[in-house]
Amino acid sequence: MNLANRRSPRRPWLALTILAAFLLAFFALPVGRMFLAGFSDDEGHLAGKSITVFLANPLYAESLFNSVSAALGAAILAALAALPVAVVLWRFRLQPPLILELFGFLPLFVPPFMLSLSLQTLLGRGGALGMLLQPVGEIDPAMWGLPGLMVIEAIHYFPLVLMTLLFSTAGYAQQAHEAARLGNSWFRLVTRVFLPLGLPGLAFGMAITFLKTLDDLATPLSLGLTNLLAPQAYFRVSTYGHMDPLSSLMAMAMIAISVIVWAISAGFIRHGATQWEPPHRQTPPSLTTGQRRLGGLFLVSIAAFYALCYSGMLLTSLAGIWSHTLLPESYVLAHYASALENETGGLINTLVYCGLAALLDVAIGLAVARAIDRSPPRWKKNLLWGAAALLSIPGVALAIAYLQFFPGMRLPLVGTPLDATWFLLPMAFSVRGLPFAIQAGTFALRSLPAPYLEAALLSGASRLAIIRRIILPMMAFGLLIAFLICFGIAAVDLSSAMLLIPSETDAPVSYSIYLHMQTSTGRGTGAALAVLTIAVVALAMSAFVLATRRRAPVLRQGERAAFPDIPG
- Residues 365 and 425 reside in one and the same domain: yes
Beta strand 319-321 with 330-331: parallel, antiparallel or unpaired?
antiparallel
**pLDDT number for residue 556:** 47
Q: What does the alpha-carbon distance between residue 342 and residue 336 come to, in Å, rounded to a whole number?
A: 10
Q: What does the alpha-carbon distance between residue 147 and residue 70 come to, in Å, rounded to a whole number?
A: 7
Are the beta carbons of 423 and 356 closer than 8 angstroms?
Answer: no
**What secondary structure does DSSP assign to 95-110, as a single string?**
PPPHHHHHHTTGGGTS
**What band does 175 get if pLDDT is binned at 50, 70 and 90?**
low
Residue 243 within a domain: yes
Q: For the domain that residue 359 is a member of, what is the CATH number?
A: 1.10.3720.10
**What secondary structure does DSSP assign to 26-53, as a single string?**
IIIHHHHHHHHHHTB-TTS-B-SHHHHH
**pLDDT number for residue 214:** 93
Whole-Å CA distances, 524 to 80, 119, 127, 321, 328:
35, 15, 14, 10, 12
**What band does 231 get if pLDDT is binned at 50, 70 and 90?**
very high
pLDDT in tens, 323-346: 777 778 888 888 899 888 888 888
Share of the chain above pLDDT 70, in %: 76
**pLDDT number for residue 328:** 82
**What band does 235 get if pLDDT is binned at 50, 70 and 90?**
very high
Residue 229 within a domain: yes
> Treating both helix axes as pointing N-terminal to C-terminal, what angle do 424-446 and 344-374 enclose, rounded to 10 degrees?
50
Q: What does the alpha-carbon distance between residue 392 and residue 260 come to, in Å, rounded to a whole number?
A: 9
- Residues 152 and 73 reside in one and the same domain: yes
**pLDDT number for residue 347:** 85
CB atoms inside a 10 Å sphere around CB 455: 13
Q: Is the pLDDT of residue 204 over 60?
A: yes
- Residues 70 and 174 reside in one and the same domain: yes
Residue 329 within a domain: no
Q: What does the alpha-carbon distance between residue 507 and residue 346 come to, in Å, rounded to a whole number?
A: 6
Nearest to 385 by CA among 259, 277, 489, 490: 259
Share of the chain above pLDDT 90, in %: 16
- Residues 282 and 359 reside in one and the same domain: no
State mean pLDDT over 447-466.
68
Residue 22 within a domain: no
Are the beta carbons of 345 and 505 closer than 8 angstroms?
Answer: yes
Q: Is the pLDDT of residue 568 over 50?
A: no
Phi, psi of 211 (to 5 degrees): -65, -40
Among 46-50, 203-207, 211-215, 227-231, name the one with the lowest average pLDDT. Answer: 46-50
- Residues 55 and 164 reside in one and the same domain: yes
pLDDT in tens, 30-49: 988 888 877 776 565 555 67
Among 84-93, 114-123, 401-410, name the one with the lowest average pLDDT. Answer: 84-93
- Residues 522 and 443 reside in one and the same domain: yes
- The SS3 call for residue 393 is coil
Nearest to 214 by CA among 155, 163, 149, 265: 149
**pLDDT number for residue 150:** 94
Provide the CB-side half-sphere exposure for 246 (13 A, CA).
23
> Treating both helix axes as pointing N-terminal to C-terminal, what angle do 289-318 and 112-123 enclose, rounded to 10 degrees?
80
- The SS3 call for residue 413 is coil
Q: For 63-73, b where at least 16 C-beta lie within 10 A, e where not — what string? A: bbebbbebbbb
- Residues 269 and 381 reside in one and the same domain: no
- Residues 204 and 283 reside in one and the same domain: yes
Structural domains of the chain, count: 2
DSSP 321: E
**pLDDT number for residue 273:** 46
Using the Cα atoms of residue 519, residue 523, residue 525 and residue 529 in order, give the sign of their dihedral: positive
- Residues 152 and 260 reside in one and the same domain: yes
**pLDDT number for residue 268:** 75
pLDDT in tens, 161-174: 988 888 877 666 56
Nearest to 149 by CA among 71, 61, 63: 71
Find residue 410's DSSP bridge partners.
417
- Residues 258 and 403 reside in one and the same domain: no
Residue 120 within a domain: no
Residue 23 within a domain: no
Structural domain span for residue 252: 45-112+146-287
Distance of CA 198 to the CA centre of its chain: 20
More confident residue, 290 or 119: 119
Domain boundary residue, one of 265, 287, 309:
287
Q: What does the alpha-carbon distance between residue 397 and residue 102 come to, in Å, rounded to a whole number?
A: 30
Domain boundary residue, one of 247, 272, 287:
287
- Residues 401 and 539 reside in one and the same domain: yes
Q: What does the alpha-carbon distance between residue 251 and residue 272 come to, in Å, rounded to a whole number?
A: 32
How much is the CA Rg of the chain, to the nearest whole Å?
25
More confident residue, 362 or 189: 362
- Residues 217 and 350 reside in one and the same domain: no
Residue 296 within a domain: no
pLDDT in tens, 255-286: 999 999 988 887 777 655 444 444 444 444 45
**pLDDT number for residue 179:** 65
Residue 316 within a domain: no
